[in-house]
């Protein structure tokens, strides 16, 4: 431990800490912009400048190390002026159409301007030529709002190992872009949206589909069915000021009914259906020398990645469509028939924590008829906007239940899909029962839970030993994939999710600002806990015990992996 003085107060710090860390540990706030704990920290933006006694120039607190006896002033006139000037310069090349910006009231630059007292357009003048990329199905890039903080660049490189985004040009013309300023659609972007989640401003955001949904709701010809992904319930409340990790399943359902959807279903039913199909597919591969390890295919960002980076491993992917696509297919076939509605008049909306789902829904590989099985995908953030637009006081809503007819029941296994390891655990709950020919009391597979790192487990069921692994984010998945490629993978079954922590941290989830990220609070774990809490509260916790799933097979699909099931619920990616 060493002693330093910050703002005339002697405090303790540790050797090796930066000024920013030491200040934070002592409750002293220094504003930042480009800094994100464990991701960036190069002092590039200079917003965190402080005065250090004896140093010739101001020092960037996020990189400057503390020394015993150091005297620091975070709010001297010089530091305050320099900081404000940096932000004024950024603002001078910013489009400033704040009122109509997607990040209005939720923008880190806006907050910083307020905090630092930026009041005038001090450097107004020429602006650099912007790029608008609206070509890809999920992500929009608008460089007129970019502040060149580099948070997206580092995230794509460090989390996904892709490095899709980088700096191009120099000086005033500097731009963050995919190579040659190409569209996301023309490079190896997996559409995970992790870059969106760390963008402090409106330079990166999802392609909004709210207006299509409102149009459908107002079309008397359309029967509008909505489904909500497992992870949405663990984060939507944040958009209404509730603490991270608040589970809002009942309020969300109530809000969707008030918005006017004709039917409110849970994607969890689709998740239970996926487990039936994927569980049997796995057993079939296991018992008939099929391609192993089998890898889950429900995360469309991950599917995009494997198509670009490991096309030779495509046969390892489960042929199952993802849960929301399965439920969409069921709505436009079984439901349409049961209700006597022409499937062309049904409009299916999926509320997802994901931006890659926007592209997934329109892939030809997912079509079972001339029309799409899912018509629109809204992110969790878009749903919050829709609820606000409809004047609904979300926080005060009473809990309501999903519609119960046909696809209303879901198991705890379905809910946990939204957290890393959840799909694997859900599959094991069913596969183990089938292999053991009994209703096993073993339900919780703790070894595959958790929002960090790669998890693995060896499970013995009767004579059979299963080796499984779970990875989330592509940097963690890559070594597992290289092992498969090199023929040395020890696993039978692998779950891979595109986003770190799984869907609870998808690219469409509420923004977690830098202050919270830098505080070290594990927001992924808090959101995941909401899902595991719901799992444990449910009477049915295994997908094959869902009585409506059993009825669906009895009355319509026959057996899992039947011809009918294959036609509607499976696909094959061949890029």
By CB under 6 A, the residues from 116 to 145 that bind ligand SF4 are 139
If one asks whether residue 359 binds ligand HC1 (CB under 6 A), the answer comes out as no
Annotate each residue in 204-243 with x if it binds ligand SF4 (CB under 6 A) or - if it does not, as one string: ----------------------------------------
Of 114-122, 158-166, 263-271, 556-564, which part binds ligand HC1 (CB under 6 A)?
263-271
Residues binding ligand SF4: number (CB under 6 A): 15
Minimal CA–CA distance to 138: which of 386, 511, 508, 419?
A: 508
If one asks whether residue 323 binds ligand HC1 (CB under 6 A), the answer comes out as yes
CB distance 30 to 47 below 8 Å: no
Of 204-212, 279-287, 332-340, 498-506, which part binds ligand HC1 (CB under 6 A)?
498-506
CB distance 162 to 184 below 8 Å: no
CB distance 198 to 36 below 8 Å: yes
| Enzyme catalytic residues | 278, 281, 298, 318, 357, 360, 365, 503
**What's the distance, CA 36 to chain centroid?**
18
Measured CA to CA in angstroms, residue 402 lies from 51, 149, 228, 246 at distances of 57, 42, 10, 19
Q: Tell me whether residue 141 or residue 324 sits nearer to ligand HC1 (CB atom).
A: 324
If one asks whether residue 543 binds ligand SF4 (CB under 6 A), the answer comes out as no
Minimal CA–CA distance to 405: which of 535, 540, 269, 537?
A: 269
Alpha-carbon gap, residue 145 to 95, rounded angstroms: 6
Of 12-20, 193-201, 361-369, 499-507, which part binds ligand HC1 (CB under 6 A)?
499-507
If one asks whether residue 271 binds ligand HC1 (CB under 6 A), the answer comes out as yes
**Residue ranges of E strands in 218-343:** 223-228, 263-266, 294-295
If one asks whether residue 299 binds ligand HC1 (CB under 6 A), the answer comes out as yes
Nearest approach, Cβ of residue 444 and ligand HC1 (Å): 18
If one asks whether residue 569 binds ligand SF4 (CB under 6 A), the answer comes out as no
CB distance 34 to 47 below 8 Å: yes
Per CB under 6 A, the list member of 162, 199, 477, 528 interacting with ligand SF4 is 162
Minimal CA–CA distance to 534: which of 443, 452, 413?
A: 413
Q: Tell me whether residue 309 or residue 400 sits nearer to ligand SF4 (CB atom).
A: 309
If one asks whether residue 189 binds ligand SF4 (CB under 6 A), the answer comes out as yes
CB distance 466 to 492 below 8 Å: yes
Half-sphere exposure (Cβ direction) of 227: Cα atoms closer than 13 Å: 29
By CB under 6 A, the residues from 397 to 456 that bind ligand HC1 are 417-418
If one asks whether residue 354 binds ligand HC1 (CB under 6 A), the answer comes out as yes
> Cβ-count burial of 221 within 10 angstroms (0-12 exposed, 13-18 middle, 19+ buried)?
exposed
Of 54-62, 224-232, 248-256, 306-314, which part binds ligand HC1 (CB under 6 A)?
224-232
Minimal CA–CA distance to 445: which of 420, 469, 424?
A: 424
Binding residues for ligand SF4 (CB under 6 A): 139, 155-156, 160, 162, 164-165, 184, 189-195
Binding residues for ligand HC1 (CB under 6 A): 229-231, 267, 270-271, 298-299, 322-324, 352-354, 357, 417-418, 502-503, 506
């Amino acid at each position: 431990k060493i002693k330093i003085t910050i703002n005339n107060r002697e405090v303790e710090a540790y050797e090796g800490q930066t000024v920013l860390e030491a200040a934070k540990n002592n409750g002293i706030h220094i504003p930042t912009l480009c800094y994100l704990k464990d991701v960036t920290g190069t002092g590039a933006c200079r917003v965190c400048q402080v005065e250090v006694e004896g140093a010739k120039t101001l020092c960037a607190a996020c990189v400057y190390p503390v020394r015993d006896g150091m005297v620091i002033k975070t709010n001297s006139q010089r530091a305050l002026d320099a900081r404000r000037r940096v932000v004024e310069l950024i603002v001078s090349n910013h489009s400033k159409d704040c009122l109509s910006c997607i990040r209005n009231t939720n923008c880190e630059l806006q907050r910083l301007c307020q905090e630092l007292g930026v009041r005038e357009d001090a450097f107004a003048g020429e602006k650099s030529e912007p790029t608008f990329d609206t070509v890809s199905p999920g992500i929009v890039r608008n460089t007129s709002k970019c502040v060149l903080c580099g948070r997206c660049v580092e995230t794509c490189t460090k989390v996904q190992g892709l490095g899709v985004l980088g700096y191009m040009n120099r000086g005033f013309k500097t731009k963050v872009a995919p190579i040659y300023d190409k569209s996301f659609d023309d490079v190896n972007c997996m559409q995970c949206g992790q870059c969106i989640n760390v963008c402090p401003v409106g330079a990166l955001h999802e392609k909004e589909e709210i207006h299509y949904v409102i149009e459908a709701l107002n079309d008397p010809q359309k029967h509008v069915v909505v489904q909500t992904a497992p992870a949405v319930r663990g984060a939507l409340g944040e958009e209404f000021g509730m603490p991270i990790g608040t589970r809002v399943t009942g309020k969300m359902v109530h809000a969707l009914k008030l918005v006017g959807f004709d039917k409110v279903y849970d994607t969890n039913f689709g998740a239970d259906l996926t487990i039936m199909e994927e569980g049997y597919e796995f057993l079939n591969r296991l018992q008939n020398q099929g391609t192993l390890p089998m890898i889950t295919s429900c995360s469309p960002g991950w599917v995009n990645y494997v198509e670009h980076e490991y096309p030779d491993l495509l046969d390892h992917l489960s042929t199952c469509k993802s849960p929301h696509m399965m439920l969409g297919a069921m709505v436009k076939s079984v439901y349409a028939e049961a209700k006597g509605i022409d499937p062309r008049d049904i409009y299916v909306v999926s509320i997802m924590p994901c931006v890659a789902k926007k592209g997934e829904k329109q892939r030809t590989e997912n079509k079972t008829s001339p029309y799409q099985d899912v018509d629109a995908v809204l992110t969790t953030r878009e749903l919050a906007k829709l609820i606000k637009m409809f004047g609904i006081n979300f926080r005060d809503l009473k809990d309501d239940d999903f519609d119960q007819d046909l696809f209303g029941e879901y198991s705890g296994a379905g809910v946990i899909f939204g957290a890393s390891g959840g799909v694997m655990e859900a599959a094991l709950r069913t596969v183990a029962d089938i292999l053991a020919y009994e209703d096993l009391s073993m339900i919780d597979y703790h070894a595959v839970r958790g929002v960090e790192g790669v998890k693995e487990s060896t499970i013995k069921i009767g004579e059979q030993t299963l080796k499984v692994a779970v990875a989330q984010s592509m940097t963690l998945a890559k070594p597992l994939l290289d092992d498969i490629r090199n023929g040395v993978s020890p696993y039978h079954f692998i779950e891979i999710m595109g986003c770190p922590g799984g869907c609870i941290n998808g690219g469409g989830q509420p923004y977690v600002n830098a202050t919270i990220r830098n505080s070290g609070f594990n927001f992924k774990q808090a959101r995941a806990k909401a899902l595991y809490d719901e799992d444990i509260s449910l009477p049915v916790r295994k997908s094959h015990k869902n009585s409506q799933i059993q009825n669906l097979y009895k009355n319509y699909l026959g057996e899992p992996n039947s011809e009918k099931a294959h036609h509607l619920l499976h696909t094959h990616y061949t890029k």
